[in-house]
Amino acid sequence: MTSAYFSGSSEAGPRSAGKILGAARTVLSQQGYPGLTIEAVAAEAGVGKSTIYRWWPNKEALIADALAQVFRADEIPDLGDTHAELRQAVDMTISNYDNDEMAASLPALAVGLLPNPDLMARFREVFLLRKRENIAVALRRAADRGDLPHDVDTDLVQDVWAGTILYRRLMTGEVLDEHLAEHLVKIVTASPEQFSHKSCP
Amino acid sequence: MTSAYFSGSSEAGPRSAGKILGAARTVLSQQGYPGLTIEAVAAEAGVGKSTIYRWWPNKEALIADALAQVFRADEIPDLGDTHAELRQAVDMTISNYDNDEMAASLPALAVGLLPNPDLMARFREVFLLRKRENIAVALRRAADRGDLPHDVDTDLVQDVWAGTILYRRLMTGEVLDEHLAEHLVKIVTASPEQFSHKSCP
Amino acid sequence: MTSAYFSGSSEAGPRSAGKILGAARTVLSQQGYPGLTIEAVAAEAGVGKSTIYRWWPNKEALIADALAQVFRADEIPDLGDTHAELRQAVDMTISNYDNDEMAASLPALAVGLLPNPDLMARFREVFLLRKRENIAVALRRAADRGDLPHDVDTDLVQDVWAGTILYRRLMTGEVLDEHLAEHLVKIVTASPEQFSHKSCP
Amino acid sequence: MTSAYFSGSSEAGPRSAGKILGAARTVLSQQGYPGLTIEAVAAEAGVGKSTIYRWWPNKEALIADALAQVFRADEIPDLGDTHAELRQAVDMTISNYDNDEMAASLPALAVGLLPNPDLMARFREVFLLRKRENIAVALRRAADRGDLPHDVDTDLVQDVWAGTILYRRLMTGEVLDEHLAEHLVKIVTASPEQFSHKSCP
DNA sequence: TAGTAAACGAGACGGTACGTCACGTCTTCCT
DNA sequence: AGGAAGACGTGACGTACCGTCTCGTTTACTA
């Protein structure tokens, strides 16, 4: 698979999919999200506008595919060490957001897709679910080891992690360093019962 | 002072500031962020476009002022009860984000302002700093009581809170209920040492 | 009145009507009818496309107004001499068509307007009726003198004149010289009874 | 030979020439000249675009061939009666133009070909010369009978006839009835000396 | 009868122009 | 004098066709 992933037609794509998505990322990092126009991408890719519109219904879908190329959703290997695994999960999340390209584009994308539930669902699938499941596996492994509650709320953990990281990056502009990473891991490991489903008062 | 707050000219405003900001909020909730155009606001407010441009430099500033009107940054009263105070802080944050108008607009705004550091700084001042300081007071009060470390990292606490809430609202679409609120409070109170400045390993 | 005549809004027009219609004629003579694009006219006039679209609904209306500026529909003065007056009428018709701009554009215009009866009616009014009435006056004057039948079919006369001239110019490409002009006049004066309404067999 | 006549390659043609030219005429009468696109013709004919482009260089050539199929250029038989023969010539001309397909398309075609002298020459050959020569034969026969001057200007006669007919059809929209036909014949027979080459003053 | 070369349908491609929309600036006219 | 009304130059939008160009697939002639 090389492209047209977000738009759904995962089996096929334009011959110039690579050129186009690459151009989209180039324009995105040079001009920022508001400066990313289809015409600019077409020009940068040396491609006709219609070739882009033939395969992506709109700017949002194109950007989604372009970002999907660089969005990491790796599996967390079993290191035998819960802290190390969770740190790896947090680091992966940080690396996903620690560039203007992604930090600015993902929320803008979400905003653009909000009115369209179908596209929003697809967005979540591509950018959230795949990564979340991989991290959830590591979290459940930690639960098996007894380091986390057996009914650990993997979604809450990841909402706290990704939310904090994205918020810092986009809104406050603070750096995403290993201090933060360590804090985020420890918040979970230090009071694991807060991230259990049944821990409601 | 009634308006033009974000744009800096806090001492004055157009005669129709109220009408205009109200119209902006109306359009925002009816058409969503992408449908909010200056021309639509002018029409809704029964006002000339130039009147808007006379007082707000661009669409972003206008939206910022419109949102600032409904963004809560209340002081947290001394209730003598740390948990109750923190819960109040979290509830205020949730109430700020628990509507599409704000959830979609704030990130879109941030993205629009990102390339302009001055406006971004002003944005942070209006939407983050005022609220943060009020909550920081409560956090430091809790530290004085001994419920939190004396060097509590008020920014980290609030990044976790607001980040998680905004992320849920915008990206995953999950509900923001009192379960979540309680979890967020307890994350902090259950392992307070994780939110201390010096707690780095 | 300087413009927007064809489009109906005769009382008003864009501030740059002159520039725009002039540019249209320039492009028309330099690029020919098929090369006349709205974008080319806008560029030549140093004007935004939207200014053109604000005042003319489409390319046809614009060209119509541009041509109307140079289309002659003079009154034929009473010279006391039927032959001289008719020759003047024929000469005026020839001068209207004896340039590529008009010869190529008028039929193209007619073809473009054919599907729209309203615009076609307006086209006839602007380009045919005004001129025809002026010539009809001269023809009736000739009838009063006894040089033509009292019920002279002024439309037929002018159909023969304009038809022959336009056909030569556009289809056969032959020159429109004074030989032709003289023939056309004499065709009418030599057998005037053929141009009477009641002369049907 | 069935097609590709206008384009010059008279010896051969696509297997689907019939389908294509038929589709062209169908589209022409259903959508009008401006709606005739190569893609529409290809779709209507159930044919690939490239098949059309393989045999016709452009839209104009295709339309020309499509029209050539229905353009009549019959010989005028010797009826022994000048008036009857000329009336037949005029009727043939009328029948050529008395449908929107031809009336709108021929001028549009001429306009499109104007900038290209070669194609224009070919256009004249196909649509004018063949018919003109057949009619010229009848006119010269009339001259031999003494009904027209021996140096009758056959071109002028036909310019007057075809010009008047086409002008009525395209520009004024008046009907082409037998009144008109009779007038056109009589204009020539009533003052034949006006249609002589040497009759210049 | 099989092999081959053309013509074919389908449709992607790089383009151009379309007509629309909103921007942010500007001018005009009314109150 | 201030503001509503809205025209202006600009530039991106998404659409429609252009004419060119691969693709396999018939089709029909040759071997």
Provide the CATH number for the domain around residue A148: 1.10.357.10
Q: Work out the minimum CA distance from C106 to partner chain D, whole angstroms.
A: 9
- The CATH number that applies at residue D163 is 1.10.357
If asked whether residues A76 and A148 sit together in one domain, one would say: yes
Which of these ranges, B178-182, C24-28, C91-95, C194-198, has the smallest mean pLDDT? C194-198
- pLDDT tier for residue C6 given thresholds of 50, 70 and 90: low
D145 touches strand E (CB under 7 A): no
Contact list, A63 vs chain B (CB under 8 Å): none
- Assess whether C190 and C128 both reside in one domain: yes
Residue of D nearest to C201 (CA): D182
Whether residues C92 and C177 fall in one domain: yes
SS3 content of chain B, % helix, strand, coil (to 5): 70, 0, 30
d(CA C170, CA C173): 6
Confidence of residue D138 (pLDDT cuts 50, 70, 90): very high
Contact C114, D32 (CB under 8 A): yes
Residue C5 lies in a domain: no
Tokens of D8: 């010059």
What is the pLDDT averaged over residues C172-180? 94
Domain stops at, among A42, A68, A94: A68
CA angle (A29 as vertex; A27, A30 as ends), nearest 5: 60
Percent of chain A with pLDDT over 90: 70
**pLDDT confidence band for D116 (50 / 70 / 90):** confident
User: pLDDT-derived band of residue C1, with 50, 70 and 90 as boundaries?
Assistant: very low
pLDDT of residue D53 exceeding 60: yes
Contact between residue A154 and residue A132 where contact means Cβ atoms under 8 Å apart: yes
- The answer on pLDDT for D163 being more than 80 is yes
Q: Are residues C129 and C178 in the same domain?
A: yes
How confident is the prediction along chain B (201 residues), in pLDDT tens digits per residue?
334 556 554 444 667 888 999 999 999 999 888 889 999 999 999 999 999 998 888 888 899 999 988 899 999 999 999 999 999 999 999 999 998 889 889 988 898 888 888 888 888 988 999 999 999 999 999 999 999 999 999 999 999 999 999 999 999 999 999 999 999 999 999 999 999 987 554
B54 & B152 share domain:
no
Looking at the structure, do residues A172 and A161 belong to the same domain, yes or no? yes
Q: Does C10 reside within a domain?
A: no
Q: Is the pLDDT score of A1 beyond 70?
A: no
Distance between CA atoms of residues B94 and B31, nearest Å: 23
Domain co-membership, B55 together with B113: no
Report yes or no on A109 lying in a domain. Answer: yes
The answer to the question of residue B162 being in a domain is yes
Residues C89 and C144 placed together within one structural domain of the fold: yes
Residue C59 has pLDDT above 60, yes or no: yes
Q: Which nucleotide is nearest to C42 (CA to C1')?
A: F9
* Nearest nt by C1' to C49 Cα: F9
Most confident of B96-110, D3-17, D133-147: D133-147
Q: Are residues A26 and A79 in the same domain?
A: no
Amino acid letter at B109? Answer: L
Whether residue B83 contacts residue B189, with contact meaning beta carbons closer than 8 Å, is answered with yes
Among A5-9, B61-65, C56-60, where is mean pLDDT lowest? A5-9
Task: From residue C7, give the alpha-carbon distance in Å to each of C54, C65, C126, D165.
Answer: 11, 7, 10, 28
Tell me how far apart the alpha carbons of residues C23 and C14 are, in angstroms, rounded to a whole number: 14
Q: Identify whether C147 is part of a domain.
A: yes
E18 C1' to C39 CA distance, Å: 9
User: Is any atom of nucleic acid chain E found less than 7 Å from the CB of residue D56?
Assistant: no
Mean pLDDT of A72-80: 95
* Res C114: pLDDT: 85
Distance of C1' in F17 from CA in D39, Å: 8
Query: Quick check: C194 and D187 CB within 8 A?
Result: yes
Ranking A111-115, C169-173, D52-56 by mean pLDDT, the lowest is A111-115
Q: Are residues A53 and A84 in the same domain?
A: no
pLDDT of residue B15: 72
Burial of B45 (0-12, 13-18, 19+ CB in 10 A): buried
Please check whether residue C165 touches D, CB under 8 A: yes
Supply the mean pLDDT for chain C.
90
pLDDT at residue D120 is higher than 80: yes
Which pLDDT score, from 0 to 100, does residue B100 have?
82
- pLDDT higher than threshold 60 for residue D11: no
Q: Which nucleotide is nearest to D36 (CA to C1')?
A: F17
Predicted local confidence at residue C2, as pLDDT: 40
Backbone phi and psi for residue D153, each to the nearest 5 degrees, phi listed first? -85, 90
Q: Give yes or no for A47 touching B (CB within 8 A).
A: no
**C115: nearest CB among D32, D127, D180:** D32
**pLDDT at residue number D8:** 55
**How many angstroms separate the CA atoms of B41 and B38, rounded?**
5
Mean pLDDT over each residue of chain D, to the nearest integer: 90
In this structure, the answer to whether residues B130 and B157 fall within a common structural domain is: yes
B71 CB-near residues (< 8 Å, 6+ apart): B96, B102, B126, B127, B131
The nucleotide lying nearest A53 (C-alpha to C1') is F14
- Between chains, do D187 and C187 touch, taking CB under 8 Å as contact? yes
CATH number at residue D37: 1.10.10.60
Please state the rounded mean pLDDT for residues A27-54.
94
Residues C95 and C48 in one domain: no
- Quick one: closest CA in B to A106, which residue? B171
Quick one: closest CA in C to D196, which residue?
C183
Rg of chain D over CA atoms, in angstroms? 19
Closest CA to D95 of D70, D61, D122, D64: D70
> Whole domain around residue A39: which residue ranges?
17-68
Residue A36 pLDDT more than 80?
yes
Neighbours of chain B (3+ CB pairs under 8 A): A
Q: Which of A169, C188, C157, C82 is nearest to B120 (CA)?
A: A169
**A2-16, D108-122, D139-153: the lowest-pLDDT one:** A2-16
Q: What is the pLDDT of residue B117?
A: 84
Q: Which of B68, B85, B101 finishes a domain?
A: B68
Q: How confident is the model at residue A104 (pLDDT cuts 50, 70, 90)?
A: confident
Dist CA C89 CA D121 (whole Å)? 31
The reply to whether B59 touches chain A by the CB within 8 Å rule is no
Residue D2 belongs to some domain of the structure: no
Q: Which of B29, B44, B68 corresponds to the end of one domain? A: B68
Listing DSSP states for B102-133 in one string gives HHHHHHHHHHHHTT-HHHHHHHHIIIIIHHHH
pLDDT of residue B57: 87
How many angstroms separate the CA of C2 from the C1' of E28?
20
Contacting chains of C (3 CB pairs or more, <8 Å) are D
Mean pLDDT (whole number) for D110-129: 87
- Mean pLDDT (chain A) is 90
- Chains B vs D: touching, with 3+ CB pairs under 8 Å? no
Please report the pLDDT score of residue A77 as a whole number. Answer: 97
- Contact predicate C87/C181, CB 8 Å: yes
A25-30: Cβ within 8 A, 24+ apart: A25/A66, A25/A69, A25/A70, A25/A101, A28/A63, A28/A66, A28/A101, A28/A105, A29/A99, A29/A100, A29/A101
Split into its structural domains, chain B has a count of: 2
Nearest CB to D172 within list C33, C100, C159: C159
Q: Is residue C201 part of a domain?
A: no
Q: How far is the CA of D14 from the C1' of F28 (A)?
A: 14
Residue C175 domain flag? yes
Percent of chain D surpassing pLDDT 70: 92
